[in-house]
C-alpha cells in the first residue's frame, strides 16, 4: 500500500467521527445553521429588507422570507453581479457559477468565501467515508479523472465566473494534484467531442483508478476508449480502476450499459452537488440513499411537491419531514440565497440519520390530464421491465401527445434509445405501461377511464440524444436531457431521429 493510501485511513476515521456527531443531531445542527445564516446577513440589503434583526426562530423566518426562484430573486442578484457589496451576503462573492436556466437565460449563482470550502469538503468527505467503510484506499495512489467543464474563468465586475466544475478544478488539494487528469490544457478545450478525444489520448496508458462524471458523458469516454483499444473492456484497459463517482442524473438507467462497458460491477459513490451548494452524498455502499449535509452552511426547507404550485403551500423544516413523501427542496445558503427554490424534488427514506433520494425536477413532470407523473415513476417503470427483459437503455425522455387524429385517444409518447432493443417493442411497451399504472394511481385511472390510451414507445437511432444535444450546443459537461416534459419541445425535435 502506498503512502497516500496508508495516511488516508486514519484521516478518514477522524473525519467520519466528526460526521457522526452531527448525523445524530441533525435538527439541532439545522437550527444552529439558520441562526448563523440570519446573524451573518442581518446587515445586508436583503437582511434589512426582510427584517432579519427581528427573526428569533424558523416561524419568524418563514413570515419574512418568501420562497422565490432565480427570476424572483433577480433584482437582488443583479445588484450582486453588478459588483455591489453586502447585498445578499457579507461582502462580495468569491465566484459566480454560470449556469443556463430555462426561463432566466444565463444564471449567475453566487459562491462566497464561506460557501466555497463546503463544496470541496463535501467532495473530499464522500471519498473518505468510502475509505473508512470499505478499507479500500488504493485508488488514491493511482490516477483520477474528473470529466468536467473548462477551468477557464472570466471576470465580471472583478469576480471570477465559470462553470462550477471548472471553478472546483482550481481547488483540488495539493496532495491530489499529481494524481489528477486530464491536464489543464486538455481540460480547457471547449468542444466536448474534441475534449473527450484528447482525454482518451492522455489517459489511455495511465493507471486510472477513479473516474468521476455525469454518466452519459462517462459512457462516451468509455466508448471512445474501447474503440481505440480495438474493443477491449475498460477493466482490461485500466486494470486498477475500482471506483466510479457520479452525480447530476439518476445512475440506474445507465448502470447496465456502463457496467457492460467496464466488464464488471464496480463500487460507486453518488453525489448531489449543485452550483448552490453540495447537498448530499452516498455515505455507505449498503444503501443507495444520500446523507443530507445538515452542517454545510445551508438551511433546508421542504414543500410537499403536490402543494408547490398552490398559493400558500405548506413549508416545513427538517424537523417535520415525513418519510416517502416527495418534497420540493428550498435552500438558504451562506452565499446569500434565501428561500431559493432549486427546482429539485427529494424524498426521505430515513430520519435516523436523515437520508434522501433525488426523485426529479419540480418542473419536469407530465400532468396534461391531471396524472402528475414524475421522473422517479417513469424511471422505475422502464427500468423494471428492461431488467426483466434483458433490454439495454441508453437514454430516454417522455412527453404527452395530445394532437392525435380524430377518434384516437391522447397518450404519453416515450422516446427511447436502446443499446439492446426488445424483440417485440409493442409487448415491451405494454409491460412498461402496466408498470407505470401500478406506480401512479392517477395514470391508472386515466387509462381505465379511457381518457388516455396506453403509452407508445418510439425507438430512436443510435446516438440520437448525442446528436440532439450537439444541435443545441449543449454536448457534454453538466448538460443533461430532461426525462419528462409537459410540452412537446424536446419530443418534436427527437421525432426526426426515430428508427
Q: Which residue in 415, 391, 409, 486 sits closest to 454, CA to CA?
A: 409
208-212 and 365-366 beta bridge pairing: unpaired
- Residue 472's pLDDT is 83
Find, among 43, 1, 5, 100, the residue nearest to 336 by Cα. 43
Collapsing DSSP to helix, strand or coil, 369 comes out as coil
Q: What are the start-end ranges of the H helices in 82-191?
A: 116-134, 164-168, 174-177, 184-187
| Domain ranges for the chain | 117-274, 365-497
Residue 313 backbone phi and psi in degrees, to 5: -70, 155
Are the CB atoms for 199 and 186 separated by under 8 Å?
Answer: yes
Residue keyed to cell 439518476: 250
**pLDDT by 10-residue block (mean), the chain, 499 residues:** 81 95 96 98 98 97 96 96 97 91 72 94 95 94 86 92 86 75 89 90 95 87 94 96 89 85 95 95 96 98 90 94 96 98 94 93 78 86 94 92 86 94 96 94 88 94 89 73 84 89
CA pseudo-torsion sign 248, 326, 279, 86: positive
How many Cα atoms sit within 13 Å of 77 on the Cβ side? Answer: 22
Which residues neighbour 432 within 8 Å (Cβ) at sequence distance 6 or greater?
A: 381, 382, 385, 414, 455, 457
270 bridge partner residues: 246
Instruction: Decide whether 117-274 matches 365-497 in CATH topology.
Output: no
Do strands 95-101 and 373-374 pair parallel, antiparallel, or not at all (unpaired)? unpaired
pLDDT at position 103 is 45
Res 101: pLDDT: 53
Cβ–Cβ < 8 Å for 196, 224: yes
Alpha-carbon gap, residue 294 to 276, rounded angstroms:
14
- Helix (H) or strand (E) run with residue 259 in it: helix 252-262
Phi, psi (5° rounding) for residue 331?
Answer: -115, 145
Strands 327-333 and 340-351: antiparallel
DSSP state of 405: P
User: Cell 436556466 sits at which residue?
Assistant: 101
Cell of 78: 443583479
Sign of the torsion angle spanned by Cα atoms 175, 14, 111, 343? positive
Class of domain 365-497: alpha beta
- Which is nearest to 96 in space by CA: 176, 167, 16, 195? 167
Phi and psi of 416, rounded to 5°? -125, 130
What is the pLDDT at residue 257? 86
User: Which 3 state secondary structure label does DSSP give 142?
Assistant: coil
Predicted confidence at residue 102, as pLDDT, reads 45
Beta strand residue intervals within 3-114, DSSP E: 95-101, 105-111
CATH tag, 117-274:
3.40.50
**Largest Cα–Cα separation, the chain:** 72
Amino acid at each position: 500500500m502506498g503512502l497516500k493510501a496508508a495516511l488516508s485511513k486514519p484521516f478518514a476515521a477522524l473525519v467520519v467521527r466528526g460526521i457522526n456527531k452531527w448525523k445524530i443531531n441533525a435538527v439541532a445542527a439545522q437550527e444552529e445553521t439558520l441562526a448563523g445564516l440570519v446573524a451573518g446577513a442581518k446587515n445586508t440589503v436583503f437582511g434589512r429588507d426582510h427584517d432579519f434583526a427581528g427573526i428569533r426562530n424558523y416561524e419568524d423566518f418563514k413570515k419574512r422570507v418568501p420562497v422565490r426562484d432565480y427570476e424572483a430573486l433577480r433584482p437582488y442578484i443583479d445588484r450582486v453581479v453588478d459588483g455591489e457589496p453586502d447585498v445578499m451576503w457579507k461582502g462580495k462573492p468569491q465566484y459566480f457559477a454560470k449556469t443556463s436556466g430555462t426561463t432566466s437565460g444565463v444564471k449567475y449563482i453566487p459562491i462566497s468565501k464561506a460557501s466555497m470550502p463546503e463544496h470541496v469538503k463535501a467532495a473530499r468527505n464522500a471519498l473518505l467515508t468510502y475509505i473508512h467503510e470499505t478499507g479500500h484506499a488504493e485508488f488514491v495512489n493511482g490516477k483520477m479523472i474528473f470529466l468536467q467543464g473548462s477551468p477557464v474563468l472570466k471576470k465580471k465586475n472583478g469576480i471570477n465566473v465559470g462553470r462550477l466544475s471548472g471553478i472546483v478544478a482550481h481547488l483540488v488539494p495539493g496532495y491530489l494534484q499529481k494524481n489528477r487528469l486530464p491536464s489543464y490544457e486538455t481540460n480547457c478545450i471547449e468542444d466536448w467531442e474534441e475534449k473527450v478525444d484528447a482525454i482518451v489520448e492522455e489517459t489511455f496508458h495511465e493507471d486510472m483508478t477513479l473516474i468521476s462524471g455525469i454518466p452519459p458523458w462517462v459512457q462516451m469516454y468509455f466508448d471512445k476508449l474501447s474503440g481505440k483499444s480495438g474493443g477491449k473492456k475498460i477493466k482490461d484497459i485500466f486494470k486498477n480502476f475500482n471506483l466510479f463517482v457520479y452525480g447530476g442524473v439518476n445512475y440506474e438507467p445507465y448502470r447496465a450499459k456502463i457496467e457492460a462497458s467496464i466488464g464488471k460491477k464496480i463500487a460507486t459513490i453518488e453525489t448531489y452537488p449543485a452550483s448552490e451548494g453540495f447537498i448530499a452524498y452516498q455515505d455507505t455502499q449498503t444503501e443507495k440513499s444520500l446523507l443530507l449535509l445538515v452542517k454545510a452552511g445551508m438551511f433546508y426547507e421542504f414543500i410537499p411537491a403536490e402543494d408547490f404550485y398552490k398559493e400558500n403551500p405548506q413549508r416545513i423544516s427538517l424537523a417535520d419531514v415525513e418519510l416517502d413523501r416527495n418534497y420540493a427542496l428550498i435552500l438558504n445558503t451562506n452565499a446569500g440565497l434565501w428561500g431559493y427554490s432549486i427546482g429539485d424534488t427529494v424524498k426521505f427514506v430515513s430520519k435516523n440519520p436523515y437520508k434522501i433520494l433525488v426523485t426529479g425536477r419540480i418542473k419536469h413532470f407530465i400532468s396534461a390530464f391531471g396524472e402528475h407523473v414524475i421522473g422517479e415513476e417513469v424511471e422505475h417503470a422502464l427500468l423494471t421491465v428492461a431488467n426483466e427483459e434483458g433490454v439495454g437503455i441508453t437514454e430516454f425522455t417522455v412527453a404527452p401527445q395530445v394532437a392525435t387524429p380524430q377518434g384516437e385517444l391522447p397518450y404519453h409518447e416515450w422516446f427511447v434509445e436502446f443499446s439492446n432493443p426488445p424483440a417485440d417493442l409493442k409487448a415491451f411497451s405494454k409491460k412498461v405501461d402496466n408498470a407505470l399504472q401500478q406506480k401512479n394511481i392517477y395514470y391508472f385511472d386515466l387509462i381505465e377511464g379511457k381518457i388516455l390510451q396506453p403509452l407508445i414507445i418510439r425507438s430512436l437511432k443510435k446516438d440520437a440524444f448525442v446528436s440532439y444535444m450537439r444541435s443545441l450546443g449543449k454536448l457534454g459537461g453538466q448538460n443533461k436531457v430532461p426525462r419528462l416534459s409537459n410540452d412537446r419541445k424536446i419530443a418534436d425535435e427527437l421525432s426526426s431521429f426515430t428508427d
